Amino acid sequence: MSKSFSESYKNAGVDITAGYKSVELMKEHIKKTMSFGDTSDLGGFGGLFGLDMTGLKEPVLVSGTDGVGTKLKLAFLMDKHDTVGIDCVAMCVNDILCVGAKPLFFLDYIACGKNYPEKIAQIVSGVAEGCVQSRSALIGGETAEMPGFYPEDEYDLAGFAVGVVDKSRVLDKTRIRPGDKVLALPSSGVHSNGFSLVRKVFDVENTDLSKTYPELDGKSLGETLLTPTKIYVKPMLALLDSVDVKSVAHITGGGFYENIPRSLPEGISVRINRSDVRVLPIFDLIAKEGEVPEHDMFNTYNMGVGMTVIVAPEEADKALSVLRKNGEDAYILGETIASDEGVVLCQ
């Protein structure tokens, strides 16, 4: 029987026994990720991972870290906490893919004003689901109860992922040439950036989030905005194994104008016809309701494109076929040109 209990600490606002209950409730969700290489027991001081070196001549570890941002405000308002964990995993593992790496394991960090074990377990259930989707082991994490720092009903969520790639297969954007094809992998929605503007446009704290709009095909505003970030691990790993991919960009904060140039070498830009972008209805609604200029929309949101991939023109059809066989309705978004403009969006 544990002797770990402090009445004084509880009176200060931290109930360590609630933390123990949270861990117990998490275990059933974390077990779903155990088959991906986890060799540690939950509750230790460090997470262990057995790395399979098969086929790796010069393994390079690749790391990524991110949070969910103010999208969490929607989760608070809707009292729905089982999807934001998917966002947290997605924001990390999708970045790792841009190097050409396979995600291996994930750790999360939850800071809250008050530890409600059932709520924490809901959050972790989403993290575990994201790990299952990305074939990553959830090998550990931290829950910090911080009364007086966060409101009792609020929390923050961040994470950290590690992947691996053989050094010879690290993506090299310097190989890009004018005339290469830029492929688009559709997003599932707003994903997990730009929510400060979303919240301002819809005044979410004072709006009925169950309200529906004709543009959203019967879905409520809240349901649409809380849609989890898509995880691209399965289709992208299949693509990387089948096609000579030159570069990948994860379209997050900063939209097209910030993220696509990060995947380009000096002297190369991407030309995109505006009419070829399959913009999701939620972005048209944001632009209309907030009177947001088109440039600002493309400089803030993914606009329906969660990831871009650059391949040689002769590889484009094969790449599209592989992506579609793996559940992605990918399409040609544009092509590379000799220019220093970054992204050229043609009307």
pLDDT in tens, 285-315: 999 999 999 999 999 999 999 999 999 999 9
Domain boundary among 169, 187, 206: 169
**Domain total for the chain?**
2
**61 with 125, same domain?**
yes
**157 with 180, same domain?**
no
Domain boundary among 123, 145, 169: 169
**245 with 308, same domain?**
yes
Which helix (DSSP H) or strand (DSSP E) does residue 35 occupy? none
**201 with 333, same domain?**
yes
Ramachandran area for residue 43 (φ above 0: left; ψ -120 to 50: alpha; else beta): left
**131 with 266, same domain?**
no
Task: Return the DSSP state at 321.
Answer: H
In this structure, what CATH number is given to the domain that contains residue 84? 3.30.1330.10
CB atoms within 10 A of CB 68: 29
Query: Is 3 domain-assigned?
Result: no
Structure tokens at 66: 């991110």
Q: How far apart are CA 259 and CA 300, in angstroms?
A: 10
Q: How far apart are CA 315 and CA 12, in angstroms?
A: 62
Query: Is 1 domain-assigned?
Result: no
Read off the pTM. 0.91
Query: Is 124 domain-assigned?
Result: yes
pLDDT higher than 90, residue 7: no
Read off the pLDDT band of 278 (50, 70, 90): very high
Read off the pLDDT band of 15 (50, 70, 90): low
CB atoms within 10 A of CB 37: 17
**Domain span at residue 198?**
173-346
In three-state form (DSSP H/G/I as H, E/B as E, the rest C), the secondary structure along 207-248 is CCCCCECHHHCCCEHHHHHCCCCCCCHHHHHHHHHHCCEEEE
- Report helix, strand or coil for 38: strand
pLDDT tens by residue, 246-275: 999 999 999 999 999 999 999 999 999 999
Residue bearing tokens 């770990």: 4
**137 with 244, same domain?**
no
Domain boundary among 169, 189, 222: 169
Read off the pLDDT band of 73 (50, 70, 90): very high
